[in-house]
Structure 1
């Protein structure tokens, strides 16, 4: 009757049709409002944890379920009717969520119990949930006068609308451009894999035939990136670069005004809630605590590596000068990846294309599962899954009710079990290849947060998903990934483990519901295993011969790991710097030309290329595609790199694939969610606070190098600098 609200573990995606959106979401809103009203009516005599905070936490379950599924489909299967249905309901749903912490009757009930002796005597996890919820309400404006509450709610609703428009503009502008080449001679330098993918793309689009071949390129990374790295034709590279940096910068998809409107609304919200700026509002309960700390962290790292950035860029310009016999005083942006790759191949005798055959996607996934079995004591099994067109009513009556259904034929489904007990801990979908209806990038989400069971209750498994836009298969050849794409899969799987291995009884504290400068620790620590020989041999096998990566090729890969490492490091710092500057110092920049602001803020953060690009802010989904998202929080990627580089030293001390270390990471980090302060969880795993030096060493930016002493890794300077 209400397919979006069906609580079956296996989602019937084919029934989630646009015409069901309005009735289902309205019904879920009615349920949520009734549940919240029931909490509001709890008298002091009736007030217990179960009747107040536990009931409050469950009040939105149906709405969270249905709206979460709709938002997911919007990300992976965008189409006009569905987009219109979502946008029609967005104001009501946004208003509902925004009004919750501003409801005076609800706040009165929760506050009264939260300040009672009964709350103080709760078990640790429930007590933390009460404390965190009280802070959520207080910091969202629960104690504001009515007129200011109304304005906070209005601002939040407007942010939901504008950020949705922003993300639609990025997707539509990306899909609006393509390049079709019919002259094969123009493809000189392009790897065979990229050439075959472009031919397949053109054929699928109907612009190529066997008699009249053509090659189609888009702004999706698996199509664009090999072209920018390898294509000899400078003019075509320029054409593609110009199209990519103008995404959401022109015409009906121009996001310029939306950027400023979103920033202004965030500033107003922060002011209403008593903060100097949006960064302080969002970071007050994260590890950085405030915007100035995050900005100083970013600027200190910038100052450390700036000389190395200049040296790397100078060496690259010198290389082009030597290869062309001309004086080179800088590079154009459409030349940078091309000459970087040329120099890397010469200096390290390493071509990414030589590694691709060792990374067929299914083998990568299977080997990653084997690694996690050894480390974390889990078993991951692929499941047969069914696909049906949405609304087709074509499901056979004999379909096993336990057979999972997927939203696209390419999607895979897996079960995750505890290896020792055989208990079903969770399941997940994996969707790895680009489609025009799918937004760019890679991400993980939890569709359903289960319960660990206990006290007579059965365990409820979690349900998650991991999404990417990796190199697709071509013809009969499997999808052969770049090493960078392999890292992305490991990264997203780290997030997934954080969700599916969660053992927290309160959903709001489970899994990835942690401060955003900690949430990247599980994901980024997994990337380290992509560089370790022992773990690579589990998944890096030639798709035709089954052979491991030859020692010589592996040695070259490791040697080239930090090639242009400072420039890569600085690019992440630049994104974090722009984010923090615009949210902290908006008064300084509001009303000015966005590109001028971008150049001013990042003058020493950007490689001094000869042509400036339009500001990344117009297509920066992390910052502007949701009311908060990574806004004032992009620095957290680097913050978490400090944590993951430091935490990985414990794995290195014991042989990397060490079950004891993996079990400790599962126990103290992956299973705990936000059930305790995250800095405390980190100390439980490491026995101390994090140190900065391991990140600098790993990035090749420190003179201090790790040494193997008596079977363990040690730093030359054991007095490691305290970091975060």
Structure 2
């Protein structure tokens, strides 16, 4: 029974185990017409998208739930004394059908959804919640697990089996297994409603993103965009040019657009997409926050964040706020300096207006050019998407870990844009399959993420099948896909998650790979970003898409020198979003949020994150899908927490010879391959030799 994943997912709901060698007969149905009810015959058991269609999901999900319930009832009502095998191992060995169907279902609802899938998602959300409660609030089952936990010293278990037992026991307690029957029923009602609200939020936000796309009919408003960009934006639904919204507050094209009215129109569309429009989410997020607060109180905690952080590295909300308060003064002070520089640039360019959020990126680029002689348009021709992937991301993995990659055009995918690669170890042994889905489309939610179609486990002799999803603008036919440096970093980041999954070496799927706390799971991904600018890697992939010329050293120097540019803005917008998350999830159970916008404004004001008015939060509450539509509630701080880890870790690499096979192997063996088999603080300290320090992060940000 694979536990809730800590991967970057659209919806984090209950998920069963990766596979099972035994099938429950009682709830079975004819499998001949439904490929989700049987093992795939493709390599690595990868889903066969040539056979899967919308009609297969609901029957497979329902059968998976029925099989899971039947298995759980059998374990809970077993009259024999509890043993590791008939209780914990039986739990781990339950639910193959559900997991197989959910893995594909969530992949499509995130990356390539449609009305049918959205309807199924709404219908199934409370059913998944009910199933999770049927497991973790089952007293008979909990008592069996508890009896084993209390006698664990006498069970003679290996270290991973002991960790599995301890993790199950902790999960039962955290889920509310010790509550009275009356309180359990209340908790079930909260969980069911929250599952429905989360699904509704995701559907509403996808509609808001699509409905908020801005159509320009006057080319003067798009001055600054290249002919290729205009061609890629041609409105297929009518006249003019259509700019789709990215999930963040700031939109990439604001950097290039010269017309201020055009910039304001695009920014306002993004800012207001889910506020006051036909796709308003304010009531949804308010109810989610209020219900989460009540859930936290029911479980015996002061607020939802206090309950949610139990198994994280931070442990308590106070530690998270301590991190914030240590960063906010330096971040906002630098943002003020940056704002003054930008205001001077506006004046220098003849502007007679006060800097606003929609001006920032446009004029910040001018400041960067002036200070560092670096223009983003100079860089992009050297960052062609497939070259970055194969000669950059993959090349770094080869140098560090000895991996090689082979394109597989024979594996069916869910969309024509998806590429598939097979991974091999240094000795030629197969490692797994990797799917890369990079371009944005209306059927895909915003953001970037990694997840598994198949999770590694020795128990089932399964190797990982992993996908990365991004939202890069798709070029017009025949045009190259040229990336910004931020998009390059994102590709390295997401593949860092993939490596964490590929190097998993666990017996049990519940402990495998990325099944770790939020404030650790982002560490391997952020760490992998460091290799994007590493000289040996950069020179291998930064090749001009027309001439093949290697990026000039002068440009590399400019990129590095500008590395601390705009970091006040970057850190402040991140802190603002992280703070909003914690403010929403530290409200007391008796709080009624009458006005979500007023709540947001007060949350930023009381932490002094609104002192630079032109720096908005990276995500506004109304479209903050990480915390209201995914698994990052009271967890968005993890990006900052793990940024501290990854800079500290890279500092170790720099002190020990940099990018070498020896260093890569040590990192793989002590961090990337360990899954959730050790306490995370111990895992890091064993590898690093000390606790992490924040100084390397501050230095990298130019704040020290």
Q: Does structure 1 conserve the Cα–Cα contact (< 8 Å) formed by 2:47 and 2:104?
A: no
Quick one: distance in 2 between partners of 1:206 and 1:433?
19
Matched residues in 1 for 2:146 and 2:351: separation? 74
Tell me which of 540, 543, 550 is aligned to 1:541.
543
CA contact (8 A) 1:434 1:468 kept: yes
Look up the match of 2:23. Answer: none
Of 618, 621, 627, the match for 1:623: 627
Cα shift at 1:252: 3.5
* 1:375 counterpart residue number: 400
Could you tell me whether the CA contact under 8 Å between 2:46 and 2:454 is conserved in 1? Answer: no
1:322 matched residue in structure 2: 348
Secondary structure of the structure 2 residue equivalent to 1:542: coil
**Corresponding position of 2:223:** 188
Q: Distance in 1 between matches of 2:595 and 2:572?
A: 24
Which residue in the other structure is 1:13 paired with? 49
| CA deviation after TM superposition for structure 1 residue 319, in Å | 2.2
> Distance in 2 between the 1:271 and 1:230 partners?
48
Q: Distance in 2 between matches of 1:616 and 1:494?
A: 27
- Give, in angstroms, the shift of residue 407 of structure 1: 0.2
1:94 aligns with 2:118: no
Following superposition, the deviation at residue 376 of structure 1 comes to 1.1
Mean Cα deviation higher: 587-596 or 230-239: 587-596
Q: Give the one of 422, 426, 431 matched to 1:419.
A: 426
State the alpha-carbon separation in 2 of the partners of residues 82 and 577 from structure 1. 33
Distance verdict in 2 for CA 1:48–1:588, change over 3 Å: closer
Matches within 5 A, 1:280-429: 280-324=306-350, 326=352, 330-367=354-391, 368-385=393-410, 404-420=411-427, 422-429=428-435
Select the residue among 556, 559, 575 that pairs with 1:557.
559
Cα shift readout 1:195-251 (whole Å, capped 9, x = no counterpart): 23223xx2xx1536xxxxx43222137998343112111111111111111111124
Shift of 1:613: 9.0
Cα 1:228–1:591 change in 2 (3 A) is same
In 2, Cα distance between equivalents of 1:277 and 1:664: 40
Provide the C-alpha distance between the structure 1 equivalents of 2:415 and 2:555, rounded to a whole number of angstroms: 36
Instruction: Give the drift of 1:590.
Output: 3.6
**Distance (whole Å) between structure 2 residues aligned to residue 145 and residue 325 of structure 1:** 66
Unaligned runs of 5+ in 2: 1-30
Shift of 1:370: 1.6
For the 8 Å contact 1:18–1:85, the answer to whether it is kept is: no
Which is bigger in relative contact order (C-alpha 8 A, separation at least 6)? 2
Q: Secondary structure at the match of 2:345?
A: helix
Q: Pick from 94, 108, 116 the counterpart of residue 73 of structure 1.
A: 108
1:699 alignment partner in structure 2: 701
Q: Does 1:85 align with 2:120?
A: yes
Q: 1:229-284: per-residue Cα shift (whole Å, max 9, x none)?
A: 12111111111111111111124411111111001111111111111111111111
The TM-score with structure 1 as length reference comes to 0.88
CA pair 612-376 structure 1, distance change in 2 beyond 3 A: closer
Measure how far apart 1:605 and its partner are: 1.4
Aligned to 1:216, what secondary structure does the other structure show?
strand
How far does the alpha carbon of each residue in 1:426-451 deviate from its partner, in whole angstroms, 9 at most, with x for none? 21211000110111110001121122
| Partner residue in 1 for 2:12 | none
State the alpha-carbon separation in 1 of the partners of residues 615 and 639 from structure 2.
Answer: 28
String of CA shifts for 1:592-618, please: whole Å, max 9, x gaps.
422222222213213533798998111
CA–CA separation in structure 1 for the residues paired with 2:636 and 2:161: 30
CA drift of 1:697 comes to 0.8
The list of structure 1 runs, each at least 4 consecutive aligned residues, that deviate by more than 6 angstroms after superposition, is 221-224, 610-615
**Pairing 1:562-577 to 2, within 5 Å after superposition:** 562-577=564-579
How far, CA to CA, are the matches of 2:249 and 2:193 in structure 1? 35
Cα 1:222/1:634, change in 2 over 3 Å: closer
Instruction: Say if 1:300 and 1:17 are closer, same or farther in 2 by CA, change over 3 A.
Output: same
Q: Residues 458 and 508 of structure 2 are in contact (CA less than 8 Å); yes or no, is this contact kept in structure 1?
A: no
Q: Compared with structure 1, are the counterparts of its residues 303 and 121 closer, same or farther at alpha carbon in structure 2 (3 Å cutoff)?
A: farther
Distance 2:590 2:84 in 1: 47
Question: How far does the alpha carbon of each residue in 1:166-205 deviate from its partner, in whole angstroms, 9 at most, with x for none?
Answer: 1111110111133333443443222344223223xx2xx1
Contact 2:576 2:616 in 1 (8 A): no
Other-structure match for 2:10: none
Counterpart residue number, 2:604: 602
Assess if the C-alpha contact under 8 Å between 2:542 and 2:550 holds in 1.
yes
Consecutive unaligned residues in structure 1, runs of 5 or more: 209-213, 386-403, 703-724
Counterpart of 2:526?
Answer: 524
Aligned partners of 1:679, 1:129: CA distance in 2, in Å?
Answer: 18
Equivalent of 2:78, from 42, 46, 51?
42
Contact preservation (8 Å) 1:443, 1:466: yes
- CA drift of 1:498 comes to 0.5
